[in-house]
């Protein structure tokens, strides 16, 4: 069985996904959507930095919908509900790292998207890594080894100097701005849309009935001297580290904590935050019997600022490897709780 796949957008994730599709024994790339005009008509393989694949990029949603394909890996910078609904209605399954990990089924928009999927006899699956792996799929798998689970923590420690997107790092994430400016960052809201879905999936699967109020917290540290970064110098006194926390409680007692630590960790921060000896990593830790703790290494570039696309391989592959399972799923929205175990593949023979 070969599944015919379209790659939607060729940013970091899209390029890693194209490489993954080509190497997956059950997948074939048959289409490619691009945002930038300069990429229209170019070969998808070349856009991904590999050999030409004979698949030319288009920026037309209509052309993509008209293609004979089983699935779209949808990884634009900004997701658009209308695009996703059109893709689903055209009969394409959609796998994406930009949302829908555990959408609120009481939400009108969710119901409309689900209706579009059912109309097209297609399935939508949200995945990724954080959220979309570390924050719900892996802790839930690991939870099966524990009893009496009192608390579970999922936490990211990443050096933001691996992210060279100046516009996003400075103007959206507000690194290098005074703390009072960064305090108004839209990031807490943007991130909450994803991480709170993970938190609720974990709560529902483990059987925690959460208090109505979920804690969301945004903390910052400033540079104590100018810090060199790929987006320019971060001046002393401006934001060089941010920590976002989401916490669900039962009767006021925290039971689930999700945290993101983004540091420019050169040892000159106030407060003096540091990754410590563990370095860049993801952690999942249970207060349970046994007190299971797992640390994930290898998901960050090994050398700061070099081969930074390594950090996007895992979220891209989580999408790619999900394709065969999503194509076989019942129409609608399918979360990790609905799909069988998603696995990677041995190299193509």
Ligand X SMILES: NC(=O)c1ccc[n+]([C@@H]2O[C@H](COP(=O)([O-])OP(=O)(O)OC[C@H]3O[C@@H](n4cnc5c(N)ncnc54)[C@H](OP(=O)(O)O)[C@@H]3O)[C@@H](O)[C@H]2O)c1
Rule CB under 6 A: which residues touch ligand X?
A: 9-14, 34-36, 39, 75-78, 97-98, 128-132, 312, 315
- Point out the residue whose Cβ comes nearest to ligand X: 11
Considering only CA atoms, which of 260, 108, 286 is closest in space to residue 194? 260
Three-state secondary structure call for residue 202: helix
* Inter-residue contact 282 to 147 (CB < 8 Å): no
Q: Which is nearer to ligand X, 194 or 331 (CB)?
A: 194
Q: Which is nearer to ligand X, 249 or 261 (CB)?
A: 261
Least separation in angstroms between CB 307 and ligand X: 14
Where do we find the tokens 């300069």?
38
* Inter-residue contact 158 to 261 (CB < 8 Å): yes
Least separation in angstroms between CB 11 and ligand X: 2
Least separation in angstroms between CB 23 and ligand X: 18
Q: Which is nearer to ligand X, 9 or 269 (CB)?
A: 9
Least separation in angstroms between CB 291 and ligand X: 27
Q: Which is nearer to ligand X, 98 or 227 (CB)?
A: 98
Element (H, E) at 195: helix 187-206
Element (H, E) at 250: strand 239-250
The number of beta carbons lying within 10 Å of the beta carbon of residue 290 is: 9
Q: Which is nearer to ligand X, 120 or 128 (CB)?
A: 128
Least separation in angstroms between CB 39 and ligand X: 5
Angstrom distances, CA of residue 216 to CA of 127, 137, 147, 158, 244: 22, 21, 27, 19, 7
């Amino acid at each position: 069985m070969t599944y015919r796949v379209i790659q939607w957008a060729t940013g970091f994730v899209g390029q890693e996904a194209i490489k993954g599709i080509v190497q997956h024994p059950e997948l074939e790339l048959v289409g490619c959507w691009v945002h930038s005009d300069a990429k229209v008509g170019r070969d998808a393989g070349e856009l991904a930095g590999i050999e030409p694949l004979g698949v030319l990029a288009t920026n037309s949603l209509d052309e993509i919908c008209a293609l004979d394909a089983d699935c779209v890996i949808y990884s634009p910078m900004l997701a658009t509900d209308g695009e996703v609904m059109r893709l689903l209605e055209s009969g394409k399954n959609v796998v994406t790292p930009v949302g829908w990990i555990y959408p609120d089924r009481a939400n009108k928009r969710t119901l409309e998207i689900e209706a579009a999927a059912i109309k097209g006899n297609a399935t939508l699956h949200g995945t990724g890594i954080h959220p979309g792996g570390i924050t719900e799929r892996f802790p839930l798998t690991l939870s099966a080894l524990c009893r009496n689970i009192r608390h579970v923590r999922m936490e990211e420690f990443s050096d933001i100097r691996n992210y060279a997107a100046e516009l996003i790092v400075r103007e959206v994430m507000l690194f290098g701005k005074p703390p009072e400016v960064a305090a108004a960052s839209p990031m807490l809201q943007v991130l909450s849309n994803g991480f709170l879905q993970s938190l609720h999936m974990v709560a529902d699967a483990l059987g925690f009935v959460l208090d109505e109020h979920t804690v969301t917290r945004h903390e910052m540290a400033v540079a104590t001297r100018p810090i060199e970064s790929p987006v320019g110098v971060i001046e002393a006194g401006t934001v060089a580290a941010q920590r976002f926390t989401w916490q669900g409680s039962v009767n006021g007692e925290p039971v689930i904590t999700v945290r993101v630590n983004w540091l420019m960790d050169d040892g000159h921060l106030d407060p003096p935050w540091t990754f410590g000896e563990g370095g860049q990593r993801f952690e999942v830790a249970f207060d349970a019997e046994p007190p299971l703790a797992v640390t994930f290494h290898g998901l960050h570039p090994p050398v700061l600022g070099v081969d930074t696309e390594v950090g996007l391989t895992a979220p891209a592959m989580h999408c790619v490897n999900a394709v065969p399972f999503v194509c076989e799923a019942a129409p609608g929205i399918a979360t990790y709780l609905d799909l069988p175990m998603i696995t990677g593949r041995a190299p193509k023979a």
